[in-house]
Structures are given as C-alpha cells and as structure tokens.
Structure 1
C-alpha cells in the first residue's frame, strides 16, 4: 500500500516501489493500492485537476488501484483532531484489512503535523514500512512528537490539544527503510533512523518517462514554448510554498521572487510562472503585477498539478529558476540552464527568525547536490 498526499510525490513513490521490488526479486507489476490523501475541497470534485493527474499518470501502471477517501471522511473520522488510535481503528474497517497481512507500506516521510502515516502504520501493522522521503530526499527523525511547551495563547492551546490526539499508548512505529532519489545527508545521527538507500538515477528516468506518456496537454505546451525559445531564451520561475508553510509572510515571499528575477533576467524577458500546489491563485496574480517589467505569464491552470520534472523539453530549452529542493532533483535530469536562486542573504532577509537556521542548513544541502549532480542519461532521452 502506498500513501500519497500530492501529485509531486507520485514519481518518488513509484521509484521507491520499483526499486524495492527489484531489490527483493519480486514481480514489479504485483498488485498495489495507492491511497490519495487530501483535505482540499477542490481535489474531491469529479473533474478536479488532481483526479485528472492521477487518472492520466496511472495509465502506465495498470497494476495499481487508486483510492480517494471522501472529503467528509477526511474531515470526519480521519481528521487530525480525532485520536490517532480511533483514526487507525476506523481506517482498518474502511480498508477492510487484517493487521499484518499488508506486505509493505510506502509513505512520504515528511514533517506533517498530522502524522497521517502513523495512522496507517498502526492500522496496517505491515510486514515492512518504507518511507520515500520528503521529495526528493529530506528525512526527519521518525520519533513520536514531543509534548509542546504549554502557554495560554490560542496557538498554545491548539498545540496542546493536538498532542493529546497523537499521544497514543501503543508503540510508535517507524520505517525500517528510507528510499530516496537524493541523499541530502541531513539525518540527526544522535537519533535512530531508517536504513537509507539512494535510488539509482536510471529508475528515476525510466519511471518519469512512463509517467509522462499520457500527458498530451504537457506535450503541446512544450512544443509551443520550444518554438518561442528559438528566438529568445525564456525562463521558468518555480514557486515554492514558503508562506503556506509559515516560513515567511506573503509580502516577503513576493519580494523574494521579484528580487531574484531582477538579478537573473533582463527587463523585458519572458518568464513563465510555475505555481506550487500550495500557493493560492491570488498570490500568483500579485506576483504577475509586480513583474510588470517582464513578459510574465502563468503556465496554464490545467498544468498546476503537473510536477515541473514532467516538462522535460521545457527544462532543456528554457532557463529554470528554482528556490527549493526541486533544484537538486532537476540536476539529475537534463536542465542545462538551471539556477538555484535562493541565497544565504535571501534567507536572512525574507524568512522568519526562528526558521532561518533550518532554511540555511537545508539550502546548503540543496546547493551541494545541485552543484555536483550530473544528467543521468543523454539529453535526448525524453524526446518523443
């Protein structure tokens, strides 16, 4: 069983699944279940972008059955504010499973405050638990959340109440294995951690090639952008979700992108904005207004759910500006004009004081991997 919460995790989940099965000499196309986990209202509509993405992507993997708990279920019995043990018991009935029968459980090892993966691990009691990293490879200590420092603020009361929801009597389950596309070497060695293995780049490229085969709108866009790039170098600015993640405030994130564009792109240049899944549409509208010195436009809405690595021909023909771990991932593909634009000065200027240390360390690891990574295969591997 595979747990996934957003389209950008799918590539990494499938790479982990394939590598793990190959390593254990299991049939690669053995049946698997993919549980899509979302609390976004729009994701649950019949023709949502998220549904369309998974419908198209999984056509190349017919052995995988997809499930999407409803919004009512997500906000009801599976809510983060239900007791974790109660959520696990409900999930066991919902999935109609016998604890211990699941051969392997794969999940994105992120820092989710909901600890949703723990709900599944408690419910499944799988023979093996495998995390595939917070895309594409950052890992977090697989430990039970510590009790928060209590204070009488609204935030303090909310954190204390949440802790009572996850403070289970049962043993906290952790993954035995971590399979990631990149090793950022960010584990705290003073804590127990899963055995970490880096997935070969060949599996990354092969899986990506299969995934993108059914995305006709993306192929048309690549042709259009490629034609424009014959006369001028266009740029793609990949947004992150710093504001939504509480790492900064909206005004500072906007100014960060404006200053980055001024540093790397001459006025009048063409800029395509790649929206992050967690970025509100209103934010993009404000950014476009601020970039009035450029020919700036947002990539089509229908591609919002499409991870940037799917646009392989765009990566080849355009300049790419990234401020997140996407830089390290794209370094493994063919992106000859890739710039990781987030600097130590940016972090000091635009991020909240108590997040600066974390951002600085993470950014240093990204820069290190971006600088030394090489394309896995020849430049024409993605051409159709």
Structure 2
C-alpha cells in the first residue's frame, strides 16, 4: 500500500474510511508484484491497481465487504482451467491479496497513517502486517523507521503489551525483520513463531519497504544527457547532472533534473552519498574527466556504472584505467560502450538503450526479446 501513499494520505487527512487491498504473495506469472495496492473508499472510489485489470472487480467487492465488516481478509486469486469465466489471472499465476479495512475509528488507522505519511514524504519506512496466524495476531501492524524505532500494535485484540513478554518479544522480532528488509529496500514475507523466533508455522508477516528514490548521476552535460535525465525521471530516479563546465550545466538545459552540480565529476563523486541502488552514467567522453571519475566509480558499491564512447574509445579508456592501477575485477564492472544494442541513433533512442541496460542489470534480465526461444542466455549480472 505504500506505493499509493500520496493518494491514500489525502483520504486519511479527509477522515475518509477506506479499505486497501495489497498483493502479499505471488506465484508464477502475475501482472504486479508484492506491495501493489488498490484502495476503495466508502463511496466506491478506487485508486491503485493489484492486477492490471484481471481481478480488480472482485477485489473492489472484497474491499467493500471488508469495510462493512471491519475485518481483514486474505484471498487467493489464480487461473482456473475448469471454468474459463472464473475470476482469476489470465497469465496463469497466483496472487494472495490482503484486504485491510481502515474505518474512521479503526484502531489500526493511526499506525497505517504514520506509515503512509512517512512514505509520502520520501522517508525510509517499513510497514509490517500479520497476514496469517492465530486470530489475536491477524491484522496487527507495526511501522518501523530506518533508525530502528517502531510503533503500532500486533493484532486486533489489544496492544502487543497486553499479552505480556510474549507480545513484546514478537513485536521486537517483527521490527528486527522489517528493519533488515528496509535496509535493502525489499518487500516480502517473514515466518515467525509465536515466541518471535524465525521459523514457520506461527505467524506470517508481510513487510513493505519504502525508501527515497534511487539516485541516477549523469556526468557530462551534453544533449544525450538531457534525454537520459527525462528517461531517468520516468523510471523514478532522483537525477543529478554533474559537469565541470558552468556554461553547459544549467537549469535551462536540464529543467527536469532534480539537481545540477558544477564541479569536476571525480571530485563531486568522492563527496556525495551513493548506495547499492545508485546508477552512474558517464557521458563526458573525455579522458581527462573519464579516467579519474571511473577510477573512483568502479570502487563504489553502486548498482551500475556505464560509460559512453565507441569501441575504440572503450579500449583506449580501459588502457588508461589499467595504467592508473584499476584492477581487472573493477574493470569488469564497467558497462562500456554504455547501453544495449537497439540500433538507436538519436539522443532519445540512446537514452532508452541506456535505461534498458540499467533495468536488465538491476532486475536480472537478459536483454533478449521476450519472443525469443525459452533457452535464455546468461543474465546481465554485475560481477561480484
């Protein structure tokens, strides 16, 4: 539900009752993954999506019923060979959907509102909800902050503390597991026993993580960079453009960029924060910028490092990098020439090819057509 936090926060502030349906598990092929959400208010207004249309009508009805009953419900939707007209996924997958009613006076409203508020502000937050287990636990929710603090209650039968030490242990265990998922920006389920230990058969807890947008840093204020900035914003990145030349690194040339920095690329990179989701696109195409920049970039634990240039430029660049002591293991991380071979020529087409490679590397894709035979080549993974 954190993927529609901004819109849902408006409903919370209006005091509007609603029910939110969240995909908590996926089996096989499915249109959307865990965390996808659809919400319905008391008047039937809908925001979000859980399946791209396959089961939206049935989920809408479930939300209305849950809002009337005041009880959460877990429902499974899958493909039916016996009944071609049954509600289900035409792609053949299976999804489990948790429907949580949030009435105007619901005891879980404050907890969910805290999670939605943090996510809509771009803060790091995880929302943990018990989806399976004994009745006294199901429906419970905790909000876990990036610094490790948490708030909320587990179960609709009272505060977690009402169950004594056991409730406290479970809450602490859930918060600990949620923090671990939040640290890596992952969403998924955790199996815990009723005493808080990590084992199946007790409680199934679904954890949604919401982190600030990942960073894309584009080095080189050229026409190709302007197109890549627009593409990066479309993919949800916080985009920074960096160039040492103030005449080129201007707001007029890059109106969509979140940040424009006039500095030597390698100096800026050494002083800015990056993480395992950051992508670095080197479009400077000039050895005096490229070499010191890549020498620093290839040492960082980022998701992607790509550099523009012809194959001849690539060979010359690698020679220069070896001369300054960059080891082969680090050179193997460099995506150069940058992008996938789509046959593009324009800045916009080049930006699409770069974005396609970034997606393939980050998500473990192959870059081959989906219509290709099932025997797939090795995935585009980054060497360890």
TM-score by length of 2: 0.25
Bigger proportion of residues as helix = 1
Between 1 and 2, higher relative CO (CA 8 Å, sep ≥ 6) is seen in 1
